[in-house]
Amino acid sequence: MNEKNTSVVAGATKENFRDEVLDGLSKSPRQLPYKFFYDQRGAQLFQEICDLPEYYITRTEIEILRLHGADMAKALGPQVELIGLGTGAGTKTRILLEELHNPAVYVPIDISKEQLERSSARFREMFPTLQVLPVCVDYLEPFELPLPRRLSSRSVIYFPGSTIGNFEPEIASEFLARLVDVAGDGGGLLIGVDLQKDRDVLERAYNDAAGVTAQFNKNLLVRINRELEADFDLNRWQHHAIYSPSEGRIEIYLISDNEQTVHIGAREFQFRAGEEILTEYSYKHTIAGFIELARQAGFHFEQVWTDDARWFGVFYFTVL
C-alpha cells in the first residue's frame, strides 16, 4: 500500500544541537559531533564526495551489492521488515530492495528530516506495494519502531556506508548490542564495513584534490554559525585528515590557522594557533576483527561479501 500520509517523527532539536556543540568544544581535546554534518547542504556535499575519484567507499559497496545482491536477498529471506539506519538518499537500499522477495515493510531511520522525506517519497513511487515508515531520530539513542500494518517474517537491520567506523570500539560494541535487541530473535543485520588497506589510499579518500571533503567538514561550522548564532570565520580553519595505523582509523580535524576567539551565543571560546577540533573518526576493520566485535555483542556470523581487492565488506549476521 502507498503510505503517502505516513508522518515523519521529529528528529534532533536545536537545543540538543547547541548542548552537544558546547559540550564538545568545552572538552580537551575539542571535538564536534559528526552526526550533525548532515543538514541539507551537508547531505548535498556528501553526495558529491561519493562521486569523487579518490573516494572508493560508495562505489565499492555498490559494486558488491550489484554483484551479490541476489545472494544477500536469499540469505535474508522473503517478506522481511527492512530497517535502514542512516541510509541517506537510498541508492544502495534501492538495489537491495529490488533483489528482495516480496519485502513487507521498509523503515528508514535518519537524523536528516529533509533527506528522509525526499527519499521516502521516492521509495513509495518505486515500490508502490511496499509500506514505507520513515522515522526521523538520532539512531545513536534508543528509539521506537513504528507499528507496521503488514506482517513480516523477520526484521533485518540494514546499516550501509561503513558508518559503524565512526564509533570507537567500545561504543561500537555497545551499539551493536543494542541492534541485537532491535532485530529481535530470528532477526538479522546486514552491515557495510570499510576494511584496512594502504595508508595512501585512505588519506587520499579523505583529502580529495577538489577540496569537497574540506567543504563538507567546514559546513559543520557554517551550520553552527547559522543555527547557534556563532561567528566562526571559515577562512581561519583548515581541513586535515590523517590515518593512524596504531589505532586503525582515519582522524578528521578542523585546525585553527592562528590564535582566535569564537562566540556561540553568549559563550566564548579561545583557540590557539594550530589547535585542532576533532570532527570524525573512521575506523577501518579487519574481517576477523569485525566478526569478533559483532560476536561479542551477541550476533552470529553468517557470511561476508567483498570486492576483489578486499577493500570493503558487507557482513551478514543473525540473532539466534
Please say whether the beta carbons of 257 and 238 come within 8 A.
yes
Measured from the Cβ of residue 187, the count of other Cβ atoms closer than 10 Å reads 21
> Is the predicted pLDDT of residue 119 greater than 80, yes or no?
yes
Alpha-carbon distance 63 to 308, whole Å?
A: 10
Highest mean pLDDT, choosing among 4-8, 138-142, 310-314: 310-314
Measured from the Cβ of residue 30, the count of other Cβ atoms closer than 10 Å reads 18
Q: What's the helix, strand, coil split of the chain in %, to 5?
A: 40, 25, 35
Higher pLDDT, 90 or 230: 230
Q: Return the C-alpha cell found at 233.
A: 570565520
Helix 56-76, helix 91-99: angle, nearest 10? 30
Q: What's the gap between Cα 205 and its chain centre?
A: 16
Burial grade of 103 (CB within 10 A; 0-12, 13-18, 19 or more):
buried
- Coil, strand, or helix at residue 190? strand
- Element (DSSP H or E) covering residue 180: helix 169-183
What pLDDT shows up at residue 9?
A: 40
Q: Kindly state the average pLDDT of the residues 290-305.
A: 98
What pLDDT shows up at residue 8?
A: 40
Residue of 252, 177, 246 whose CA lies nearest to 208:
252
Residue type, 225: N
120-171 residue pLDDT tens? 999 999 999 999 999 999 898 888 899 887 889 999 999 999 999 999 999 9
14 pLDDT band, cuts 50/70/90, is confident
Q: Please name the residues in contact with 267: beta carbons below 8 A apart, sequence gap of 6 or more.
A: 22
The correct CATH number of 56-197+285-318 out of 3.40.50.2300, 3.40.50.150, 3.40.50.300, 3.40.50.1980 is 3.40.50.150
> Is the predicted pLDDT of residue 198 greater than 80, yes or no?
yes
What pLDDT shows up at residue 147?
A: 87
Q: Kindly state the average pLDDT of the residues 245-263.
A: 98
Alpha-carbon distance 55 to 70, whole Å?
A: 26
209-220 residue pLDDT tens? 999 999 999 999
Please say whether the beta carbons of 130 and 103 come within 8 A.
yes
Q: What's the gap between Cα 242 and its chain centre?
A: 20
> Is the predicted pLDDT of residue 12 greater than 60, yes or no?
no
pTM (2 decimals)? Answer: 0.90
Q: Kindly state the average pLDDT of the residues 18-29.
A: 97
Q: Kindly state the average pLDDT of the residues 232-252.
A: 98
Please say whether the beta carbons of 37 and 21 come within 8 A.
no
What pLDDT shows up at residue 114?
A: 83
* Residues forming CATH 3.40.50.150 domain(s) in the chain: 56-197+285-318
2 pLDDT band, cuts 50/70/90, is very low
Q: Please name the residues in contact with 27: beta carbons below 8 A apart, sequence gap of 6 or more.
A: none
267-289 residue pLDDT tens? 999 999 999 999 999 999 999 99
24-79 residue pLDDT tens? 999 999 999 998 998 889 989 999 999 999 999 999 999 999 999 999 999 999 99
